[in-house]
Structure 1
Amino acid sequence: MNNLLDFVPAFQALNITLTENQMGQFIKYYELLIEKNKVMNLTAITEFNEVVNKHFIDSLSIVKIIDMSKGIKVLDLGTGAGFPGIPLKIAFPDLDIILLDSLNKRVNFLNDVIDNLGLINITAIHGRAEEYGKKEGYREGFDICVSRAVAKLSTLAEYCIPYVKVKGSFISYKAGNVLNELEESKKAIGVFGGKVEQIKSFCLPGTDIERTLINIKKTSPTPKSYPRSGGKPNKEPII
């Protein structure tokens, strides 16, 4: 029997108190994730306790670096199986969230999760980061852009910062030590109108798994030529 009660201290360490309904939503999300994972590759982590620690609590750890309790507008770029966007929506129902992913099968799964969990003001859309990053209503349309996607920070910055309003933030979730990567990305972050405001490194509760959150503040509008198309942010990152 999957039970979140053992994890109450970990949630409380983040100043998050879940209702019975929210706990039920997390468990339902886990069940839907594991069921769909049998037919498509969503996650290599499938054991309940590991999913809670490495996906759910990890996603929510953003509260260590920014206040998520207000009804702000959030874009989760390269959301994959819905991390961090869906855990954030469950824990903070007032958030207005868009989940963006380039694989339609994943988007269909996410929409099933949204329907099954009865979530509102959250939408999963299929598209490429560089295309939506130039669309009206999306470009500089979000208070926060988050991403747990596996890519260099200089690449992620080009994809993510264009979505953020001036004075908003791009929050990047990273594993382990990121100092070299951060140093390499400083030029790119500045070009796109951002500035590193805060770096927070920690271990996931009860583990030795190192995580780092990077808060990049948007200080000026992103030049219209960014993000570049044709996969250039990945192939030819600005360094």
Structure 2
Amino acid sequence: MHHSIHDEAHLSNRNHWLRAAVLGANDGLISTASLLVGVAAASISSQTLLLTGMAALTAGALSMAAGEYISVSSQADTEKADLDKELHELTHNAEHELNELTKIYETRGLDHVLAHQVAVALTQHDALEAHARDEIGLTDLSQAKPIHASVASGLSFIAGAILPIIGILLLPVQSLVWSLSSLTIVGLALLGIISARLGGAPVIPATARVVIWGVLAMVATSLIGRLFGVAAL
């Protein structure tokens, strides 16, 4: 039976999109719910709340996607600059780069002779790949992917923001502030569980972290929203 080089699936391979997705969903849920709780405290009509929520969802998703794209693009530019520098050094100072790679393998536990043999073999196979991986720390999995991160961030923001908006339509108007707050806490708990499952992390610590910090952020932003909401009337 044929086996691939890596039969086991490593959950850390998901890091390049999981971070953006969790951050986007968390931000979408907290920021939208906080805004709506603050505005709802000012006794605004349900129709106005719905329009406010949709505006927050649209603007937030676009802002999150654009911000993530710019951030990861900057990281990608830095990685490209490092690769260009390595390529220049390999072209103009190959012996020094070979010695540098040898020393890297020596620090990882190989004796000088074996480290040199490994460095020579990997240099002959793909010198730039060897230096990118072992000197800079870049691999195909870890390289910045702006489009992936941007899309994951924007869509996950929408997924998070849609929950409190649905709440406006389904929850009783008389207790909307407390109902939205409770719904948001439930959403934060679900987000913590999902992110823990996807990342292979312990569920309870991950969920507690998301809920606690999410509630603190929601309380702070909803107080500000309530203050300005009331003051605007």
What is the TM-score of this pair, normalised by structure 2? 0.22
More helix by share: 2
Q: Which has the larger radius of gyration?
A: 2
More strand by share: 1
